[in-house]
Chain A
């Protein structure tokens, strides 16, 4: 077989310009595909991380039906909280769990001397949440909460604006208690104002220390949700699935189940980019097919000679496949080099979105980071490389078949 490889390799360089152009075309296609996949995956990761770090989590544990119907009375009992948290500690040995957070949620009304507006009041553990979430990074005025800040809240910029409130000023929160038909109210002060970049969240968000919210709503030590934050969102499904087996009476959700809009957005976006990439590669495929076919058709006499000398049809078929393999190998190598360099640059420096858009961008209820960073897993790198190899070899079957059948011995007599 050595001779088949040798002839195939030298055939490539018989017309070096054509070979180089073909390799460049495929390489650029592969490089662009890697960069596009990197930016796509990177932006999706950023969206997931942004969403889970703004009041959600990679895995959420709550009472059954809370995702769909909510309800202030769907609470986790102290026993359930202990059970879930102790399970979470056990799971730290198997999964990269960074934080386990307790939260309460209630819809209520906030009012000041200048008006009133509906708010989503979230009770959080300030110290833990500061380490785990991005709330503190979104502060535009004031400071973040302290654990013993019983009468202080953080407001979304929209809420503060509607109520004409500034840091240190007072407002009244009103909400229904858990076992009461009475409306409860509490006078609190503004510790800080934050802007998440999501209009609807900024228009309704109010954060309060967990203890204060439990006291305000008469929840005792009960909470609505325990959120797990991980190092890597890829473990979310597996951890949630194990959690659901352990706590069948509760609702244990992965980020995708907790944020179905975001999950669907990412799926649709991935689907769209797959279609675009496929179209792109089909166009490139024609270049490859053209090159290989031209190369084989030009060499009809040579294949006839090899046929004469005793090179079997199978070996002639393999010879063209080997030529295609060399093209694919060179292209994959060059394309990987170019694409991975692009990915490395974009994973460090990022792509500033303000080059293309002004203002804040959001989709599926998540604010876009203004700088998009590339992220590629080894599997993601392998996929397009395999696609290039597979497609090039597949396309070479037609010319290889022609070469195997090419046996016009009469052409050998022509000068």
Chain B
């Protein structure tokens, strides 16, 4: 099923939740293929299945039906430690509410993934400083999350997501908690990283202004892919 530069592939993926005797179909037979270097937005109203799609894509949630491949690896039946290892090696995350480790400084948060991957100290320091500079956090390396603004925290989260040069970066509503100016600055940054490093981004959003910046937009409604279109700006 997997093709050469395919980073992510979902085949007939459904995710059902049972709540109070009722079955909720969060994802309904979703098919999706993401190739290296794409900059893709998932759009849709609240409850359309955006977050579930992101979670299922990297083994944070298990599909009820269907199959998922990340970087050519079939996630079906993989153990929790194996999935953790896969995420560590291939995926970067950016969350709506930043989700930094509060007891670590900006530099240590960015360094976390490299540490877990066992990258040597000297290389780690070099890479982290380069990435923090790239995301505009030079001089703020030693500050803890509580000492940073929302925009700065999200930049740390971006640095953490890209520092290990993952094949795929998932971002769940990355601009939702930011003011317009900071939100656009963040999207600029993501775009720049996509163009310069060929990093694949898959992010969910319901902000039309952010959506416009994506090269491809997947519209979800009630767990189904309603539309999968190349953005008019890039068509």
Contact = CB atoms under 8 A, between A and B. Distances in A.
Contacts of A413: 51, 95-97, 172-173
Interface of B: 51, 55, 60-61, 80-81, 84-89, 91, 93, 95-97, 99, 101-104, 108, 112-113, 115-116, 160, 172-173, 176-177
Which of B89, B101, B172, B176 has the most A CB atoms < 10 Å from its CB?
Answer: B101
A183 interface: no
A409 B61 contact: yes
A308 B166 CA distance: 14
A302 B97 contact: no
A305 B116 contact: no
Contacts of B97: 412-415
Nearest to B115: A3
Nearest to B87: A310
A404 to B, nearest CB: 9
A312 B80 contact: yes
B104 A309 contact: no
Interface string A390-415: 00000000000000000101101111
Interface string A1-20: 01100110011011000000
A292 B96 CA distance: 29
Counting from the closest, the 9 A-B pairs by CB-CB distance are A310-B88, A10-B103, A3-B115, A312-B81, A312-B84, A310-B87, A409-B60, A415-B97, A305-B99
Given A3-B115, A311-B116, A413-B173, A14 B61 contact: no
Given A310-B89, A410-B51, A413-B172, 8 more contacts: A7-B103, A7-B104, A307-B60, A307-B84, A309-B87, A310-B85, A311-B116, A313-B84
B112 A313 contact: no
A14 B89 CA distance: 30
13 contacts: A3-B115, A14-B103, A302-B101, A305-B101, A308-B87, A309-B112, A310-B86, A310-B113, A311-B84, A312-B84, A313-B80, A412-B99, A413-B173
A227 to B, nearest CB: 66
B31 to A, nearest CB: 23
Which of B51, B95, B108 has the most A CB atoms < 10 Å from its CB?
Answer: B95
What range describes how many residues of A lie at the interface?
A: 20 to 34
Nearest to A316: B84
B116 A310 contact: yes
A83 interface: no
A409 B57 CA distance: 13
Given A14-B103, A413-B96, A414-B97, A309 B115 contact: no
A14 B101 CA distance: 12
A314 interface: yes
Interface in A6-58: 6-7, 10-11, 13-14
Contact of B116 (A13, A309, A414): A309
Contact of B115 (A2, A14, A307): A2
B125 to A, nearest CB: 13
Nearest to A307: B84
A413 B102 CA distance: 16
A301 interface: yes
Contacts of A412: 95, 97, 99, 172
B175 to A, nearest CB: 13
Given A3-B116, A308-B60, A313 B102 contact: no
Contacts of A409: 55, 60-61
